[in-house]
Chain A
Amino acid sequence: MRKIISVLLLFTFGLSSCEKDDICDPDTPTTPRLVIEFFDADSPSTSKEVTNLKVIGKDMTEGIIFNENATGETKYLANGSKISIPLKTDADFSTFTFTLDSGNENAAAINSDEVRFNYAHQNLYVSRACGFKTIFQLNPLSDGPPISSPFIKVDSDSKGFWMKQIYVKEYNIETENETHIEVYF
């Protein structure tokens, strides 16, 4: 009997000591990023890779890191057909400058477009360890009042738009497993 009790006591103390280490599992779906996929404007069904794309949030000094392991400027440069960028969780819009061929010696090749994404955000409970997450919903496109649009494209460097067309594929940004925005260039 005494043995049983001591075993149970040990068991309970063991459990209480584990209490603190419930950390948020990185695989848990939490706040999603905006997933943008690039396509060839001349052949809309084929994806096209961007070269040295740098994305900087408005009023931010550093670009979004795309290569965690790279050093220097290259960690901010995306090369590929798909990127994920984090949206502001405490505002209803996020503005980014997308610079193609960033760092190119030929200054004429560098082209920047500014895109402002407009959305509504909502905080959802995940778990004790992870707390809450934010999901987003891009504003619908509407010409009549109230006028709203999911994004506003601005030619920030007056070199013309390198993004020929932006298309919203998924208005609800809830997971990173799908593409939300398609960019044709």
Chain B
Amino acid sequence: MKHTLKYISSFCLLFSMFLSHAQETPTTTVTKEIVPEKQKIENVAKPALQEVKKADSIKTDRYGLRVGVDLYKLTRGFYDKDYKGVEFVGDWRLTKKYYLAAELGFEDKTTDDDRLNSSATGTYIKGGFDYNLYQNWLDMENLITIGLRGGFSTFSQELNSYKIYNPNPYWGEMPPITEHQKYSGLTAGWIEVAMGVKAKVFNNVFVGFGVQLKMLVANSKPDGFDNLYIPGFNRTYDGSFGIGFNYTVSYFIPIYKKKTVIPAPAKTAPKK
């Protein structure tokens, strides 16, 4: 119960951060925004005819920083007593299609396998870029992205208990051995291909989900044990493969705008 309260309060705190951002930003942007917005609305209202006369239409792209949090990791702590974690996500729009992206997180996970029970605790950082594949209409700002990340985690593992595998249990099945052996100072590095969708739900708030396919490139295994779970990388398999998932809510902080001229070739081409 105490933990639940702690989570709820931290959750509220997190959202209060969003609120404060929401109040901060309009001072710079709203005034500017009104003018181009009206233009666009006119474009939508009388579409075809005007477009033919105007060969090109001007589109304003907003550039800025998007920050958010992974709700999947945050809420998992409520129903999974073996898991605590948080991940902050952020991206910065570099060009029309490219975004610099990064994730920063903390995870504490107890893995209970049939024969082993171990806990991994640590922080991780991932950095890379996203490429937006989605062709937005007018002032829409949705994203379907594919990107690449490099990830690095520093963590510790604790072997809580284990069982001896004995194919010939003549002397009876042995109870699990409680050990509480701690292995600290572990590191791991990986690369991942990230696919994601982000949709603007209202104002500057985006919701999105993403899947990541990961490949371990560096893994410092402890002596006499293995890294069964790496924060940020997730569960390890026999090979170097891994997968991840996130569900994010993020807030876009517009910083500057760029106008791009979209030529309207579709209208002129058929006339010839």
Tally of B interface residues using CB under 8 Å: 31
Which residues of chain B (171-202) have a CB below 8 Å from chain A? 171, 174, 177, 195, 197
Q: Which residues of B contact A128 (CB under 8 A)?
A: 113, 115-116, 226, 228
Which residues of chain A (20-77) have a CB below 8 Å from chain B? 24, 26, 30-31, 33, 57, 60, 64-65
Partner of B165, one of A12, A19, A31: A31
Partner of A12, one of B144, B169, B197, B211: B211
User: Is the pair B171, A5 in contact by a Cβ cutoff of 8 Å?
Assistant: no
| B167 contacts A by Cβ under 8 Å | yes
**Given the contacts A5-B144, A88-B171, A30 and B243 also touching, CB distance less than 8 Å:** no
**Given the contacts A128-B113, A128-B226, A5 and B164 also touching, CB distance less than 8 Å:** no
User: Is the pair B165, A24 in contact by a Cβ cutoff of 8 Å?
Assistant: yes
Partner of B164, one of A9, A65, A123: A123
| A166 contacts B by Cβ under 8 Å | no
| B166 contacts A by Cβ under 8 Å | yes
Which residues of chain A (54-105) have a CB below 8 Å from chain B? 57, 60, 64-65, 84-86, 88-90, 94
User: Is the pair A30, B167 in contact by a Cβ cutoff of 8 Å?
Assistant: yes
B216 to chain A, nearest CB (A): 15
Q: Which residues of B contact A124 (CB under 8 A)?
A: 224
A124 to chain B, nearest CB (A): 7
User: Is the pair B195, A89 in contact by a Cβ cutoff of 8 Å?
Assistant: no
User: Is the pair B166, A30 in contact by a Cβ cutoff of 8 Å?
Assistant: yes
User: Is the pair B162, A132 in contact by a Cβ cutoff of 8 Å?
Assistant: yes
Tally of A interface residues using CB under 8 Å: 37
Q: Which residue of A lies closest to B113 (CB)?
A: A128
| A131 contacts B by Cβ under 8 Å | yes
Q: Which residues of A contact B169 (CB under 8 A)?
A: 86
User: Is the pair B211, A132 in contact by a Cβ cutoff of 8 Å?
Assistant: no
- How far, in angstroms, from A26 to B163 measured CA to CA in the complex? 16
| A127 contacts B by Cβ under 8 Å | yes
**Given the contacts A5-B197, A12-B243, A132 and B168 also touching, CB distance less than 8 Å:** no
Nearest first, the 8 A-B pairs at minimum CB distance are A131-B115, A86-B168, A31-B166, A30-B165, A86-B170, A130-B165, A131-B163, A132-B162
Partner-A contacts on B (CB < 8 A)? 113-116, 133-134, 144, 162-171, 174, 177, 195, 197, 211, 213, 224-226, 228, 235, 238, 243, 245
> Apart from A94-B171, A131-B114, what 5 extra A-B contacts exist at CB < 8 Å?
A1-B133, A57-B171, A124-B224, A127-B226, A134-B164
